[in-house]
Structure 1
Amino acid sequence: MSGIRLLDLIKPFASIFLEVELPYEKSIFDEKLVYTVAAAIIYLLLGLPINGVNDENVVDAFGWLRNCFASTPGTLLEFGVLPVAFSAFLWQIAAGDKLLDVDFTSSSDRKLFQSLQKLTSILLGFVFAVLLVFAGYFQPIDYFTSAAENGELLVEPSLFSKLLIVVELTVSNTIITLMAELLDKHYGFGSGIIDFIVISSATTFTTSFIGLTTQVTSRGFESTGALVQFVKNMFSSKSYAYGIVEAFTRQNLTNLTQIYAAIFAVCLIVYLSNCRYEISIKSSKVRSMASIYPIKLLYCGAVPLIFTYSVLYFCNIIGFSLTRIFSSNKYLALIGTWELEPEFKKTYNLTGGLLYLISASPSCSSTNPLLSLVRPFTYTAFVVVVSTLFGKAWPHMSGSSAKDVAKQFKEQDITMVGRRDVLMSKEIGKIIVPASSAGSFATALAAAICECCGGSKGLSYGTVTGVLGSLSVLEEIVSEWQQTGAAGSSQLSQFIPTQ
C-alpha cells in the first residue's frame, strides 16, 4: 500500500482556488502579445495606495531589495512578485531534490503541483501582510513619536483598520499570482514573474534616469530623474562644481553614480549574453541536413540572481517584523537592527546583526567600524556563492540538464556531429554544467560589485535582471514569429520587417 503524498493533501484546496485553464488550442502570435501587454498594464495599475495608509508616512525598510521584485512601498504592490517567486523556487527545489514526490509527465500531478505553488504564494502574501501590519510598518512608531514631540494628536489604527490592510494585500497578491499563472500557461510570452520584473525594471530605470516628476526634500523641489536634476543644477546652482557633485552624490533620490553603475553592469551582462558555445548537430534521418545548437554562457539567465535576492528579501521581512513585534527581546538584535535614516526619515537602514553583513542597505553605517569594512566582502561573497550553487543545480531542477537536452535530441532524431548517441548526454554535460555555473558566477559578481561600488540601492541588480529577462522574452517572441509563420498572418506584419 503506497503512502499518502504531500500533493494528495492539496486536492481539497485545488477545487477551492481559482485556476487558469490551459488554452483549448494554441494561442496565435497576436493573442499572446495582447495577453502579455494587458497583464503588464494591469500589474502597473495595481500600484495604487493601500486604503487607510498614507504612503508618505511609510518608512521603507526594503528599498534596496525592491527593484528585482517589482514592488512599491505603501501600495498594493508592497510585495510585488516575491510570494510568487519564492513559492515557485521552494517547491521546484523540493521536487528537484526528490523531497516532493511529483511526476511531471502526469497531467494530474502537474495540476496539483501548480495548485501547491499557488496556495503557498497566497499564504506567503498573507503572512507577510500580517507581520508587517502588526510590526507597525505602515504606521511607523518613529512617525508617532515625532508627531507627539511636535504636539500633534494622532490615533493609532484600530484592529479593523489593520485587518483591512491585510485583506487588501492578500487580494492583490492573489490577483498577481493568477496573472502569473495566466502567462505561465502560454497565453502570453515568457514567464509571468519575468514579465512583471521586466516591465517594472524598465519603468524604474527610466524614471530614475530621466524622470520629470519632482519631490519635496530638505533642499526644495528635486527631480526624480538624475539626468534632469543634473541639468537643473547646471542652470540653477551658483557653483558648477557644487551642482556636479550634488548630482553624483545625492542620497534621497537616484544619483548619476548609481545610474552609471547600472549602465556598466548592463553593458557587461549584454556582452556576456552573447558569449556561447555552438554544438554541431545533424539529422539522423535526412542526409546533409546540419545545423548548430548554441549553449549560452548565461545559461540560467536571471534566475539564480532572482533566487538569491528572494532569499534576502524573505529574511529581511521576517527579521524586521520579529525585531519590531518582539522589540523587548535583545537576542533578536543578532538577526538585524534597523535605524531610521536621520536626514530624510524615509527609510530604515540596517546597521547591525547578521542581515547587515549580507546586505547592501544604503546610507547608514554600523556602529562597529569593523563591520562596515567587512560588509562589502561578506555581501558579495554571499550573493556570488548562493547564485553559483543555485545556477549549477538549476538545469537539473528545471528540466534543462544535459540528460534532458539529449533526450530532446533523440526525440527529434538529432545527433551530434562526430559523437555517438550513447555519449551525447555526457558531451553536452561538459558544456552545460560549466556554462550554468560560470554564467551565474559572472552575473552575481557584476551585480554585487556594482551595488557595493555605486551604492545603487538595488538599481544595478534590478536593471540586470530586467535586461536578462527582456532578452529571454524577446528571444521567445522572435522564435514564435519565425517558426509559426506569424510574419504572414499577424496584424503586426505590416509594421515589423520580415527580413
Structure 2
Amino acid sequence: MSFIDSLARLGEYLPAVTKPKEKPSLGQKLVWSIIAVIVYLIMASTPLYGITSTSFFKNLILEQIIFASTAGTLAQLGIGPIITAGLIMQILAGSKLIQIDLNDPDDRVRFTEAQKGLAFIFILVESALFGYVLARTSSSIGGSILFIAGIVILQLIVATFLILLLDEMIQKGWGLGSGVSLFILAGVMKIMFWDMFGIASVSSQNLPVGFFPALISTLLSHGNVLNLLVNTSTKDPFQPDLVGLVTTIVLIIITIYLTTMTIEIPVTSQRLRGIRRTIPLNFLYVSSIPVIFVAVLGSDIQLFASLAAYVSPSASSVLNAISAAFFFPPPNVSIPHSVFAIVLDPIGAVEYTVIFIVLSILFGLLWVDVAGLDPATQAQQLIEAGIEIPGVRSNPKVIEGILSRYIYPLAFFSSIIVGVIAVVATLLGAYGTGIGILLAVTIAIQYYSLLAYERSLEMYPILRRLIGE
C-alpha cells in the first residue's frame, strides 16, 4: 500500500460530513456559513480547561492570522494542521513525488481523503506537543503534569477535529467557499475590529485598547491627543495609533487594486475557430503564498527554540537569535509596535526588511515550480484544452517559451510586492498585520465573486442547466 493510500484509508475511517442530497439555496448556505463562524469564534474565546496562566506564550509568537488560532483557547491550533497538510499534499502532487491525477474523480477523492488523514495526524502530534508544554509551563488546576497534559491534549484533539469537520461541511456544499478561508477572514476582522473599537481598558494609562474609544476617552479627559498619533510607549507597545489606522486603510485600497489587476494573453480555441479571447494572469500571480511561507518558517523556528529550551539551552539561544530576524520588533523586546520602532531599532528594521523580502522572492519562485504554476505545466494544460496562441505552433515547448516571458517576471515582481506590503504594514503598525490584510482582501474578493455567481444561478435557472448543476 502506497503512502497516499495509507493516508486515504485513515481519512475514510474518520468521522465525516455527508454531502447535501439537494443543493441548498444561497440563503441556507449563508446560514450554515454563519453558524460555522460563530462556533469557531466561541471556541476561540473559550479558555482551555486546566490552564489558568502560562509563561509559555510570553516566549512564543504564534501566527494567529495564518492559522486562525488563539493562544490558550480551544482554537489553540486553529486551522494549522489543515493548512500544513494541504500545503504538503499540494507540494507532493505538484512535484510529482506522488502519482495522482487530480483531473480523475477517483484520484481526486483519494487525494482529499489522504489530505484529511494527514491533517488528523498533525492534529494528534501538535496536540500532544502543545498539551505537554502547556501543562509543564502553566499554573494549572492541580495534579500531575501527565494528568493535566492528558486533559489539555484531549481538548485540543476534539476541538481541532471539530474545526476540520466545520471546514469539511462548508466545502461539501453546505456553506460558501471553504471553512479555512472563512476562519482566517473572521480572525483578521476580529483583530481589526478590536484594534479600532475595543473598549476594554488594558493599558497602563487606563485607556481602551481600541483607537477610537481611546481617542474619545482622551478628548473627554482633556488629555494629549498627540499621544495617539504615534505610539511611543514601551509600557503599552500594542496600543493602536493613527499612523497604523491610515496605513491599514491605504494598504487595503492598494491590495484591492493590485489583486484585481490582470495580464491578458490573447488565445484562440481549436473548437471555436475565428473566435479570439484572452487568458487572464493575475498580476499578483503568487497571491500571498510567499509571505505565508516566510511567516510560518519564522514561527516554526521560534516554536522549536521554545521547545529546545527544555533540552539544550545553547541550541535554544541560537534558534531564538535566528527567529528574531523574522519579527519586528523582535520578541521579548519592549519596543512599541508602531513606526516609532524604526527610530529605536533602525538596524533591526533593515535586517527584517531584507530577510523578509529576499525569502518572499525565493518562496514565490519555488511555489510556482512545485504548485504547477510554471510555464511548462500551463502550456501543457492549454494544449490539452485545445487552446492556441495566435500565430504560434501548437507545440508545448514553443508555448512554454512564450508563457515564460509572462509567468516568471510576474512571479518575481508579485513576490516582491506582497513582501513589501507585509513589511510596510509591520513597520508602520497596521491593524491586523500586512499578512492579515493580504489574506483578508484576497478572501473577501473571492467571496464577492462567489456570492455574485450563486446569486446569478438563483436568478437565472437556465444558467444552472447550462453548466450542469
Q: TM-score under structure 1 normalisation?
A: 0.77
Partner of 2:33: 36
Q: How far did residue 401 of structure 1 move?
A: 4.4
Contact 2:85 2:119 in 1 (8 A): yes
Q: Deviations over 1:359-381 (max 9, x none)?
A: 23557449xxxx96543334333
Counterpart of 1:359 (choices 327, 337, 347) is 327
Structure-to-structure mapping, 1:250-329, within 5 angstroms: 250-286=236-272, 289-323=275-309, 325-326=310-311, 329=313
Cα RMSD, aligned residues only: 3.6
Instruction: Give the letter aligned to residue 38 of structure 1.
Output: I
Structure 2 residue 456 is the aligned partner of structure 1 residue 473: no
Q: How does 1:391-402 map to 2 (within 5 A)?
A: 391-402=364-375
Give the Cα separation in 2 of the matches to 1:11 and 1:83: 16
Instruction: Give 1:341-352 correspondences, 5 Å limit.
Output: none
Superposed, which structure 2 residues align to 1:46-57 within 5 Å? 46-47=43-44, 48-54=46-52
In structure 2, what is the equivalent of residue 161 of structure 1? 148
Where 1:214 maps in the other structure, the secondary structure is coil
Q: Which of residues 359, 375, 392 in structure 2 aligns to 1:386?
A: 359
Which AA in structure 1 matches 2:15?
A: L
For residue 74 of structure 1, report the CA deviation from its aligned partner.
1.5
Q: Paired residue for 1:110? A: 108
Q: Does 1:462 align with 2:436?
A: yes
Q: For 1:18-97, list aligned pairs within 5 A.
A: 18-21=15-18, 29-47=26-44, 48-54=46-52, 59-63=57-61, 65-97=63-95
| Distance in 1 of aligned mates of 2:380 and 2:24 | 26
> How far 1:56 moved relative to its partner?
8.9
What amino acid maps onto 1:202 in structure 2?
Answer: M
Q: Using the TM superposition, give the Cα deviation of residue 164 of structure 1 relative to its aligned residue in structure 2, in angstroms.
A: 0.7
SS in 2 for 1:200: helix
Partner SS state of residue 281, structure 2: strand
Q: Distance in 1 between matches of 2:330 and 2:222?
A: 26
Aligned twin of 2:191: 204
Pick closer, same or farther for the CA change 1:30–1:282 going to 2, 3 Å: farther
Q: Deviations 1:152-171 (Å, cap 9, x if unpaired)?
A: xx957653222111111111
Matched, 1:331 2:315: yes
Alignment correspondent of 1:346? none
Q: TM-score scaled to structure 2, two decimals?
A: 0.82
C-alpha separation in 2, matches of 1:282 and 1:11: 40
Q: Is the 8 Å Cα contact of residues 237 and 243 (structure 1) preserved in structure 2?
A: no
* Cα distance change of structure 1 residues 400 and 33 upon mapping to structure 2, 3 Å threshold: farther
Alignment partner of 1:236 out of 199, 203, 221: 221
Instruction: Map 1:117-132; keep pairs closer than 5 Å.
Output: 117-132=115-130
The equivalent residue for 1:17 is 14
**Distance in 1 of aligned mates of 2:383 and 2:428:** 48
> How far has the Cα of 1:197 moved from its partner?
0.9
Contact 1:282–1:416 (CA under 8 A) maintained in structure 2: yes
Match of 1:223, SS state, is coil
Q: 1:388–1:441: 8 Å Cα contact kept in structure 2?
A: yes
Confirm or deny: 8 A CA contact 2:124 2:157 kept in the other structure.
yes
Consecutive unaligned residues in structure 1, runs of 5 or more: 145-153, 337-352, 491-499
Q: Aligned partner of 1:269: which letter?
A: T
Give deviations 1:417-444, integer Å, cap 9, x for gaps. 4444334444334323322332122101
Q: Deviations over 1:93-136 (max 9, x none)?
A: 22322333333344444334333332332332333333333334
What secondary structure, in the 3-state scheme, does the structure 2 residue paired with 1:280 have?
Answer: strand
Contact 2:81 2:122 in 1 (8 A): yes
- SS state at 1:277 partner: strand
**Would the aligned equivalents of 1:406 and 1:424 in 2 still touch at CA under 8 Å?**
yes
Aligned to 2:467: none
Residues 1:226 and 2:224 are matched in the alignment: no
- Return the offset for 1:479: 4.0
Identity %: 22
Q: Are residues 161 and 93 of structure 1, via their aligned partners in 2, closer, same or farther at CA, if it must alter by over 3 Å?
A: same
Q: Which has the higher contact order (CA 8 A, sep 6+)?
A: 1
Where does the alignment leave 5 or more consecutive residues of structure 2 unmatched?
335-343, 463-469
Structure 1 residues 96 and 228 mapped into 2: Cα distance closer, same or farther (>3 Å)? same
